[in-house]
Structure 1
């Protein structure tokens, strides 16, 4: 089973559990609020049912957001989760406005203290606090900001129920205005949470960079590896709490292509192990000599190595310059090193074609020819035996 599918199953299970309790508690509080004529209790019941609406959003979104990448969504579908969280924030904002207006415009002097109303509130506080911890733990486990936001929605229901409890106690003590005050407090609490959800997830939709402290920790993780130097040009975007990272690293100039690829994979693996919220890492390999050219790149936008010819042109030049030696040279497998704004090369020659004395003479001739080529800083000849004659 894929990781995304496992995360989807966890999100679905947690959301269904929360939805069932939201429905039961919401109905219980609305009924109790109606018979006790408590606006605060009715408002809290509506709040619980609004949790049920958001649970439905979360349920269907989690089923789609955890699908893997496809042709139209190469980065996956996690943005659906972020967008849904923004919509949840607007829904909660409307709920908050409605509760606040209802508290102000309705007469709360007829509110009565009832034991069944008290029981409904106490049950809500206990259950919603338990759901908060259950949902938040699952959200952190799968790095789902939507699930964590839904958990805080449950916590807000528990806190608002505490406010309603205070209002009921106020009514019991002969303070009828306490019911209205508790309703307004519930509205403000929901509104504050809604604004936070909207703001945080809108920032994610426009690719706002993650926490600078986290980026510094990631850089430190990469910098702690041997043969990896000066991680730089780091960019990251967030998708539903998961981070997609691009970065450059410097590796020793003598490293081969395969070693550079190995070090890139090592950096990506180490970062994802140390920082589970990082889902994908794209690593660009620079050599250590390019550290001194970074300022040049920033000023001109063009790395100095690009002033040198590409491999195709170099092989064509070598084929012409060394045409008299082509019978024992493997020019196509010439190794090129773009270092220190200059070009070093290693030319492969077949040792079984010539005697050792001839090899020395030919090497001297080839190096003399290449020494007069403007873009070549250093050249060397490697004589090897072909496999069938080894």
Structure 2
């Protein structure tokens, strides 16, 4: 949670700094355009001021997107950032069309003035600095929204470049230079916006991340001992973060706690090696091939091992079948191993409860004989334990 709050703070600070400069530069260009009678410069100033609208969207989207999960949003709020990035892409397309249309339809001719030139140069330099500052922050916190807003800042710089080229062209007597430069810039902004929208729409429909990254993640999990053949890997992206579901094989006789340990180990190792992975959900499969294959069931057939009875039913049956042995059997702690070819049962015998004069071999044989009437039990084992040692 603290990491999300830190990312939220960075996003809000960067956006606020960009908004202040958008306001100052927009006012400066409008004033310079007014005194130089340059409609292109005034339009560019209005363009800078219009960036304030998107800055407001980015500011509030960053605040919402970096909040943690809640009851209505169990996966968090990062999709707010994705939707806002699509909106920014649409705004950039509108900006591109506006620049292109204005350059073709305008019948006014910009006038070259030194204070107009100074305003444009200041805009280009400052907006380029803001672009790199915002883009660097976006990459640091893996925020596509900040990166998109950085490119929006660069679009303002590019439009100022177009106006600057036009003014220089006018200075040297080439009146058409302003129109050509504006059209080229409009095409560049439009291309960038379409790519931005396409990438984030793909994220909204849960398109899988880069297959090379998924292969690297599988290799990371597969490098751990007692974790075999990671499979059924599913991943989705949310504002540059990856949420991962995967299955792993563990030894068939691993305990529940060992399986949980291995699952946590896989999740920790993946997130440490791949910081863009925000969450890993690990499903534990045994190393039994048939059982694993049965999980891949698109026709909703019941997996074979689910035809075996549940633990509560087996405990009730054992209590009846082994009623003559309850004095020295700890039936409650019986271990059940559900395998594709049947059920293996491990019974716990208590050495300190064995009646005097009774041999363990004879007691085990009696237990095995009573268990023969059970309708399940591929293999039955009795493990004799004492308070001083785990197993005998």
Q: Distance in 2 between matches of 1:213 and 1:162?
A: 38
Residues 319 and 331 of structure 1 are in contact (CA less than 8 Å); yes or no, is this contact kept in structure 2?
yes
Residues 44 and 186 of structure 1 are in contact (CA less than 8 Å); yes or no, is this contact kept in structure 2?
no
Deviation at 1:328, TM superposition (A): 1.9
Residues 308 and 343 of structure 2 are in contact (CA less than 8 Å); yes or no, is this contact kept in structure 1?
yes
Deviation at 1:276, TM superposition (A): 1.2
Q: What corresponds to 1:54 in structure 2? A: 54
Residues 293 and 303 of structure 1 are in contact (CA less than 8 Å); yes or no, is this contact kept in structure 2?
no
CA gap 1:312/1:335 in 2 versus in 1, 3 angstroms = same
Residues 290 and 340 of structure 2 are in contact (CA less than 8 Å); yes or no, is this contact kept in structure 1?
no
Residues 169 and 175 of structure 2 are in contact (CA less than 8 Å); yes or no, is this contact kept in structure 1?
yes
TM-score (norm 2): 0.92
Q: What corresponds to 1:254 in structure 2? A: 253
Q: How many residues are aligned here?
A: 388
CA deviation string 1:235-263 (max 9, x = no partner)? 11111111111111111222211111111
CA deviation string 1:28-84 (max 9, x = no partner)? 223333444445434433332232221111111111211111111111111111111
Residues 43 and 183 of structure 1 are in contact (CA less than 8 Å); yes or no, is this contact kept in structure 2?
no
Q: What corresponds to 1:17 in structure 2? A: 17
Residues 33 and 39 of structure 1 are in contact (CA less than 8 Å); yes or no, is this contact kept in structure 2?
yes
Q: Distance in 1 between matches of 2:255 and 2:208?
A: 33
Deviation at 1:373, TM superposition (A): 3.5
Q: What corresponds to 1:235 in structure 2? A: 234
Q: Distance in 2 between matches of 1:40 and 1:370?
A: 93
Q: Distance in 2 between matches of 1:168 and 1:334?
A: 87
Q: What corresponds to 1:65 in structure 2? A: 65
CA deviation string 1:144-200 (max 9, x = no partner)? 110111112122333333333322221122111111222223332332222222222
CA gap 1:42/1:191 in 2 versus in 1, 3 angstroms = farther
Residues 250 and 291 of structure 1 are in contact (CA less than 8 Å); yes or no, is this contact kept in structure 2?
no
Q: What corresponds to 1:29 in structure 2? A: 29
Q: What corresponds to 1:204 in structure 2? A: 203
SS of the residue 2:135 aligns to: helix
Residues 92 and 152 of structure 2 are in contact (CA less than 8 Å); yes or no, is this contact kept in structure 1?
no
Unaligned runs of 5+ in 2: none
Q: Distance in 1 between matches of 2:114 and 2:211?
A: 51
Residues 145 and 240 of structure 1 are in contact (CA less than 8 Å); yes or no, is this contact kept in structure 2?
yes
Which deviates more from structure 2 when the two are superposed, residues 152-161 or residues 240-249?
152-161
Which deviates more from structure 2 when the two are superposed, residues 190-199 or residues 277-286?
190-199
Q: Given the alignment of the two structures, is residue 188 of structure 1 paired with residue 187 of structure 2, yes or no?
A: yes
Deviation at 1:344, TM superposition (A): 0.8
CA gap 1:30/1:380 in 2 versus in 1, 3 angstroms = same
Residues 117 and 164 of structure 2 are in contact (CA less than 8 Å); yes or no, is this contact kept in structure 1?
yes
Q: What corresponds to 1:214 in structure 2? A: 213
Residues 89 and 197 of structure 1 are in contact (CA less than 8 Å); yes or no, is this contact kept in structure 2?
yes
SS of the residue 2:207 aligns to: coil
Q: Distance in 2 between matches of 1:351 and 1:37?
A: 102
TM-score (norm 1): 0.92
Q: What corresponds to 1:382 in structure 2? A: 383
SS of the residue 1:345 aligns to: strand
CA deviation string 1:178-227 (max 9, x = no partner)? 11222223332332222222222222122121122221211111111111
Q: Distance in 2 between matches of 1:272 and 1:296?
A: 26
Q: What corresponds to 1:283 in structure 2? A: 282
Unaligned runs of 5+ in 1: none
**Pairing of 1:1-390 with structure 2 (within 5 A):** 2-108=2-108, 110-290=109-289, 293-294=292-293, 297-298=296-297, 301=300, 302-354=302-354, 355=356, 357-371=358-372, 373-386=374-387
Q: Distance in 2 between matches of 1:18 and 1:146?
A: 14
CA gap 1:293/1:299 in 2 versus in 1, 3 angstroms = farther
Which deviates more from structure 2 when the two are superposed, residues 5-14 or residues 374-383?
374-383
Residues 160 and 185 of structure 1 are in contact (CA less than 8 Å); yes or no, is this contact kept in structure 2?
no
Residues 47 and 157 of structure 1 are in contact (CA less than 8 Å); yes or no, is this contact kept in structure 2?
yes
